[in-house]
């Protein structure tokens, strides 16, 4: 067996994929894959891995199909502080990517499962990473001993303009153009809603049957004026959204001024507008 | 760009040679925290100085009587990678100067938003952020959950034991932890001896331990990195079995000695 090959326990024996520790000939393919998947610039990837004084290519694994790199997983060796004066050698899970044409074949799971072999005999005490909880359930199943640890870190954010909301509006407009349900909800609706959120400059949503347009402005007489003493993210969690809104209404953290008819209309399309706030 | 001035505090951009003081300040300020990479010159030069989209003009330094008392490193896109201030000085002034500078800088570079990771306990940062109309979110919701996996438990315990030097005299026990559901490459046991006020991790299997513990590696990891409630929860749910059962209070005491209680602070520079 090739000294670089990574024996797989997850992939079926007749799999078309082979796995090995990153070699110099895989570098370009792996970089291209990361670039295509995450839209990370080549300059950033070179800095992150090749210029990193701690980077060790033997901490990366690639998945090959017909000699082409179709998946890769990188770990970064790090000293991680665990108490006042103690640090341990750790491996931080960095980038994991699978080519779009090869997803759903267990390549990602196999790459993660290769961690045991990759990190074995490397004097690494623990591995860690920042993962979306849903993703852990999906792809980290094969890993034994993965535990979630709460942090004491708060993220503060301030939007300097509404370009992000405008981008989301463009996405919503694309959805409106092909989704009949959303289009039906917006039919006969013509409203100017002024929004004020914490941490976001005030903006106007001009809602028309075929389009939603965002303008960074304070309209003198909007149809509805909505003021939130809540961050934009309060509206993103769909399961709790109604509860959060009700609580905020009762505690006057949301103040709405306008006709009741317009308020009901806005509530009716809130589910569709939620994409603006994600 | 205009550089604001407040009393005897001065704000300027990074100058060559500042890095030693910046690293010293960072490590001093976050000394009581865990979860980040301790700053060394090599790490800082790579992580901050040579990072694309940052550049030395994105590092602001606040001085007082020529002493660096705070600094911030911010990317053009608006992510504040490192942020710290000396709490022995007027923290509110320093934080406010740095954040206002960061906002102006990101705006001038065409950034759309600005974000800062700070320890949750830092009320001063929270107060200034509120004044500047920042919103706050938990790290878990904004970035993701920190997941970790212990690969070498004896080594981790040895490190922890070195840190926790003090054990009450007369608290002598030998503990054998039998690990359930371990991967093939893992030792399925680890032993700890507490004698004459000293704790030691042993590699050999003790034949006559005074306490036997059965648990899987996740449970032990949670007991080390988690809270005491998690430990009680594990015992109640029988995920951590202690034999003989009357030694449960002793086992709890030992695990609380092993527990890593430093809050975890994750600066943006370490994962972004």
Domain contains A131: yes
How far apart CA B18 and CA B12 sit, in angstroms, is 11
> If 0-12 CB within 10 Å is exposed, 13-18 middle and 19+ buried, where does residue B5 land?
exposed
Domains B5-136 and B153-258 equal at CATH topology level: no
Domain ranges of chain B: 5-136, 153-258
Domain contains A175: yes
Residue in B with minimal Cα distance to A197 = B135
- As a whole number, mean pLDDT of residues B178-195 equals 83
How far apart CA B177 and CA B212 sit, in angstroms, is 6
Strand order from edge to edge, sheet including B198-202: B198-202, B189-195, B173-180, B211-216, B240-243
Looking at residue B264, what DSSP letter applies? Answer: B
Q: Is the pLDDT of residue A1 over 60?
A: no
pLDDT tens per residue, range B133-177: 898 888 888 888 899 989 888 899 998 888 776 777 777 889 999
- As a whole number, mean pLDDT of residues A248-256 equals 83
pLDDT at A238: 55
Q: How confident is the model at residue B116 (pLDDT cuts 50, 70, 90)?
A: very high
The answer to whether residues A168 and A134 belong to one domain is no
Residue in B with minimal Cα distance to A51 = B46
Q: What is the ipTM of this complex?
A: 0.91
Residue in B with minimal Cα distance to A43 = B52
Q: Is the pLDDT of residue A6 over 70?
A: no
CATH number at residue A258: 3.30.1050.10
How far apart CA A49 and CA B97 sit, in angstroms, is 34
State the best of B149, B201, B226, B272 to mutate against chain A, taking most chain A CBs within 10 Å: B149
Contact (CB, 8 A) for B225 and A128: no
The CATH T-level fold of domain B5-136 is Aminopeptidase (3.40.630)
Within 197-226 of B, beta carbons closer than 8 Å to A belong to 216-218, 221-222, 225-226
**Cβ of residue B134 closer than 8 Å to a chain A Cβ:** yes
- Residue from A86, A144, A127 nearest B158 by CA: A86
Within 243-262 of B, beta carbons closer than 8 Å to A belong to 260-262
B118/A156 CB distance under 8 A = yes
**Cβ of residue B266 closer than 8 Å to a chain A Cβ:** yes
Long-range contact list for A22-31, CB < 8 A, 24+ apart?
A22/A57, A22/A58, A22/A60, A22/A61, A22/A62, A22/A72, A22/A74, A23/A57, A24/A57, A26/A62, A26/A64, A26/A69, A26/A72, A27/A57, A29/A62, A29/A68, A29/A69, A30/A60, A30/A62, A30/A69, A30/A72
- As a whole number, mean pLDDT of residues A232-241 equals 63
B137/A231 CB distance under 8 A = yes
State the best of B151, B217, B228 to mutate against chain A, taking most chain A CBs within 10 Å: B151
Domain contains A217: yes
For tokens 């449970």, the residue is B219
How far apart CA A20 and CA A62 sit, in angstroms, is 6
Please, what is the average pLDDT of chain B?
89
Domain contains A3: no
Q: How many domains does chain A have?
A: 2
The answer to whether residues A245 and A174 belong to one domain is yes
Contacts of B263 in chain A (CB under 8 A): 151-152
B106/A160 CB distance under 8 A = yes
User: Would you call B202 helix, strand, or coil by DSSP?
Assistant: strand
Q: Is the pLDDT of residue B84 over 50?
A: yes
Domain housing A217 = 163-277
Q: Is the pLDDT of residue B204 over 70?
A: yes
> What is the DSSP secondary-structure string of A93-145?
EEEEEE-GGGTTSSHHHHHHHTHHHHHTTTT--EEEEEE-HHHHHHH-TT-SS
pLDDT tens per residue, range A16-75: 888 999 999 999 999 999 999 999 899 999 999 999 999 999 999 999 999 899 999 999
Contacts of B135 in chain A (CB under 8 A): 156-158, 197-199, 231-233
pLDDT at A235: 64
- Of all residues in chain B, what percent carry a pLDDT higher than 70? 96
pLDDT tens per residue, range B85-97: 999 999 999 999 9
Contacts of B147 in chain A (CB under 8 A): 128-131, 136, 140, 146-149
Does CATH number 3.30.1050.10 belong to domain B153-258?
yes
Domain contains A190: yes
> What is the DSSP secondary-structure string of A43-73?
HHHIIIIIS-TT--GGGEEEEEETTEEEEEE
- As a whole number, mean pLDDT of residues B113-134 equals 94
pLDDT tens per residue, range B27-79: 999 999 999 999 999 999 999 999 998 888 999 999 999 999 999 999 999 99
How far apart CA A121 and CA A117 sit, in angstroms, is 9
| Minimum distance, in Å, between the CA of residue B13 and any CA atom of chain A | 22
pLDDT tens per residue, range A166-192: 888 888 888 888 888 877 877 778 888
pLDDT at B141: 82
Of A83, A143, A147, the CB nearest to B222: A147
Q: Tell me the CA distances in angstroms from B16 to A171, B20, B56, B58, one per residue in order.
A: 45, 10, 9, 13
Residue in A with minimal Cα distance to B109 = A160
| Minimum distance, in Å, between the CA of residue A43 and any CA atom of chain B | 7
Q: How confident is the model at residue B233 (pLDDT cuts 50, 70, 90)?
A: confident
pLDDT at B165: 62
- Residue from B36, B227, B217 nearest B139 by CA: B36
Q: Which two tokens stand for residue B188?
A: 């399925």
A151/B33 CB distance under 8 A = no
Decide which of B66 and B197 is more confident: B66
Domain contains A252: yes
| Minimum distance, in Å, between the CA of residue B231 and any CA atom of chain A | 13
Q: How confident is the model at residue B127 (pLDDT cuts 50, 70, 90)?
A: very high
Q: Which two tokens stand for residue B242?
A: 């202690």
The answer to whether residues A97 and A209 belong to one domain is no
The answer to whether residues A212 and A254 belong to one domain is yes
pLDDT at A133: 67
Domain contains A158: no
Domain contains A202: yes
Please, what is the average pLDDT of chain A?
83
pLDDT at A253: 81
How far apart CA B201 and CA B190 sit, in angstroms, is 7
Contacts of B159 in chain A (CB under 8 A): 82, 86, 88, 125
Of A43, A52, A155, the CB nearest to B117: A155
Contacts of A158 in chain B (CB under 8 A): 103, 113-115, 129, 132-135
Of A52, A85, A132, the CB nearest to B46: A52
CATH number at residue A104: 3.40.630.30
The answer to whether residues A83 and A175 belong to one domain is no
């Amino acid at each position: 067996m090739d000294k670089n090959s990574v024996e797989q326990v997850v992939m079926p024996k007749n799999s078309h994929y082979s796995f090995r520790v990153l070699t110099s000939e895989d570098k370009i393919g792996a970089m291209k894959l990361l670039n295509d998947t995450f839209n990370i610039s080549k300059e950033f990837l070179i800095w992150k891995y090749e210029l990193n004084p701690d980077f060790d290519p033997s901490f990366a694994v690639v998945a090959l199909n017909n000699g082409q790199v179709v998946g890769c997983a990188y770990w970064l060796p790090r000293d991680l502080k665990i108490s006042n004066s103690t640090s341990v050698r750790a491996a931080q899970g960095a980038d994991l990517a699978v080519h779009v044409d090869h997803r759903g074949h267990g390549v990602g799971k196999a790459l993660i499962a290769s961690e045991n072999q990759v990190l074995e005999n490397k004097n690494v005490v623990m591995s860690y990473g920042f993962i979306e909880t849903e993703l852990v359930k999906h792809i980290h199943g094969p890993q034994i001993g993965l535990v979630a640890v709460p942090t004491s870190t708060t993220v503060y954010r301030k939007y300097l303009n509404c370009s992000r909301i405008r981008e989301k509006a463009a996405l919503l407009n694309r959805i409106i153009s092909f989704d009949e349900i959303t289009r039906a909800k917006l039919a006969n609706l013509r409203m100017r809603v002024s929004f004020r959120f914490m941490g976001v400059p005030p903006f106007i949503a001009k809602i028309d049957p075929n389009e939603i347009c965002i303008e960074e402005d304070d309209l003198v007489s909007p149809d509805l004026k909505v003021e939130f003493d809540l961050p934009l993210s309060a509206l993103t969690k769909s399961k709790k959204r109604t509860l959060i809104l009700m609580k905020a209404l009762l505690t006057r953290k949301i103040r709405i001024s306008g006709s009741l008819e317009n308020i009901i209309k806005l509530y009716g399309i809130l589910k569709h507008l939620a994409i603006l706030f994600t | 760009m205009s550089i604001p001035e407040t009393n005897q505090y001065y704000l300027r951009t990074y100058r060559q040679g500042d890095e030693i003081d910046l690293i010293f300040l960072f490590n001093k300020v976050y000394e009581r925290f865990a979860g980040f990479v301790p700053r060394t010159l090599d790490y800082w030069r790579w992580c901050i100085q040579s990072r694309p989209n940052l550049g030395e003009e994105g590092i602001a330094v606040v001085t007082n009587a020529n002493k660096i008392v705070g600094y911030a490193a911010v990317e053009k896109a608006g992510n504040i990678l490192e942020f710290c201030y000396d709490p022995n000085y007027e923290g509110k002034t320093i934080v406010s100067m740095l954040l206002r500078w960061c906002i102006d800088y990101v705006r001038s570079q065409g950034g759309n938003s600005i974000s800062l990771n700070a320890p949750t306990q830092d009320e001063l940062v929270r107060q200034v952020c509120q004044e500047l109309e920042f919103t706050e979110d938990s790290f878990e919701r904004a970035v993701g959950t920190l997941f970790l996996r212990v690969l070498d438990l004896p080594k981790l315990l040895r490190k922890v034991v070195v840190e926790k030097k003090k054990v009450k005299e007369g608290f002598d026990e030998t503990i054998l932890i039998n690990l359930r559901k371990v991967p093939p490459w893992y030792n399925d046991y680890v032993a700890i001896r507490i004698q004459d006020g000293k704790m030691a991790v042993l590699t050999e299997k003790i034949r006559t331990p005074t306490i036997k513990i059965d648990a899987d590696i996740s449970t032990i990891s949670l007991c080390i990195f988690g809270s005491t409630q998690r430990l009680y929860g594990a015992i109640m749910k029988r995920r951590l079995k202690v034999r003989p059962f009357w030694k449960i209070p002793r086992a709890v005491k030992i695990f609380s000695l092993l527990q890593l209680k430093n809050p975890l602070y994750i600066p943006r520079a370490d994962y972004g």
